[in-house]
Amino acid sequence: MKTIVVTGASSGIGRAAVIRLAGAGYRVYGLARNYDKLKSITAENYTPFEFDITKPDKFGQVVKSILDSSDGIYGLVNNAGYVEPGAIEDLSMDNIRLQFETNFFGLVGFTKAILPYMMQRNEGRIINVSSIAGLISLPLVGAYCASKHALEAVCDALCMELWNTSIKVVNINPGVIDTNIHTITESKADMIEKSRFAGAYRKYLQAPRGLPASVVADYILQAMSDNPQPRYLIGSGREKLGTRLRPLLPDKMFYSQVSKRIHGQSN
């Protein structure tokens, strides 16, 4: 039975992936900070692990514990992450750094902690749950987009570096998914109300959510197959079209059209 590690497993895409993978016959380790939520997942061949992606000094210990209780790690689903909403002018540098610590540095560090064991076996799957935001930048989520763009660059490089091995790197790029990734804290709500973008923030938070997390979980399972695609773009037709049109549009035209959503007029 092949073993798969899923980070950010307590809710949303991670939780759906744990259930889908365990149901398909894999042994799954679900990692997240909220151990109570992890324990509430009922699935065969599933083990919860309390884990903080921003604590790299603990990575080795977690990996060792998993290896000691399994026959090796075949798959890693890098899903831990969150959206830090806010215009660049509204975000503190601490906000931006934590966004990168979680969405980028933690992911890269944990991948590096597991990769040597995959290399020893010359097999494995590294599945990175990125975002359409890694392919196109939008206002009010600039820090999130930046973290996902950085992730795309590293994952593309890793894919090519491992091309002549049996370790496959796969990027999953969902559009808007119906999860709690957009949760707003009390302090964030205060920032929103004081911002010149307050109206745009409210529209952003009230926008309808997208596809269910289970749809992404299905693609994650597909990425574990013998011959996965390097990338799976998931979302509405409009979202997919946007990523394909962006490189073709003049910058001024794109900026003008998108800016209407937050300013109400073209600049």
DSSP string, 90-154: GS-HHHHHHHHIIIIIHHHHHHHHHHHHHHHHT-EEEEEE--GGGTS--TTBHHHHHHHHHHHHH
User: Using the 8-state DSSP alphabet, how is residue 86 labeled?
Assistant: B
Residue type for position 19: I
133 lies in which domain range?
3-182+210-236
The residue that leads in pLDDT, 261 or 252, is: 252
Q: What is the pTM of this model?
A: 0.92
Q: Is residue 190 part of a domain?
A: no
53 located within any domain: yes
Count other Cβ atoms within 10 Å, centred on residue 68.
Answer: 7
pLDDT digits (tens, 9 = 90+) for 12-21: 999 999 999 9
Question: Residues 168-179: what's their mean pLDDT?
Answer: 90
* 75 lies in some domain: yes
Residue 216 lies in a domain: yes
Domain total for the chain?
1
- CB of 243 closer than 8 Å to CB of 233: yes
74 labelled catalytic = no
**What is the pLDDT, as a whole number, of residue 51?**
97
Inter-residue contact 187 to 143 (CB < 8 Å): no
pLDDT band at 211 (very low <50, low <70, confident <90, very high): confident
Report how far apart, in Å, the C-alpha atoms of 25 and of each of 45, 137, 220 are. 8, 38, 14
Mean pLDDT value of segment 151-164: 97
Q: Is residue 63 part of a domain?
A: yes
Residue 113 is assigned to a structural domain of this protein: yes
Residue 143 sits in a domain of what CATH number? 3.40.50.720
Is 153 inside a domain boundary? yes
Give whole-number Cα distances, 192 to 86, 92, 136, 241, 265, in Å.
8, 13, 23, 30, 21
Strand ranges across the sheet with 3-7:
46-50, 27-32, 3-7, 75-78, 124-129, 167-174, 231-234
Residue 244 has pLDDT above 80, yes or no: yes
Number of H helices, E strands in the chain: 11, 7
In a domain, 200, yes or no: no
- pLDDT at position 117 is 98
Q: Which band of pLDDT confidence, cut at 50, 70 and 90, is reported for residue 265?
A: low
Question: For residue range 32-90, what is the model confidence (pLDDT) as tens digits?
Answer: 999 999 999 999 999 999 999 999 999 999 999 999 999 999 999 999 999 998 999 99
Residue tagged active-site, from 29, 144, 204, 219: 144
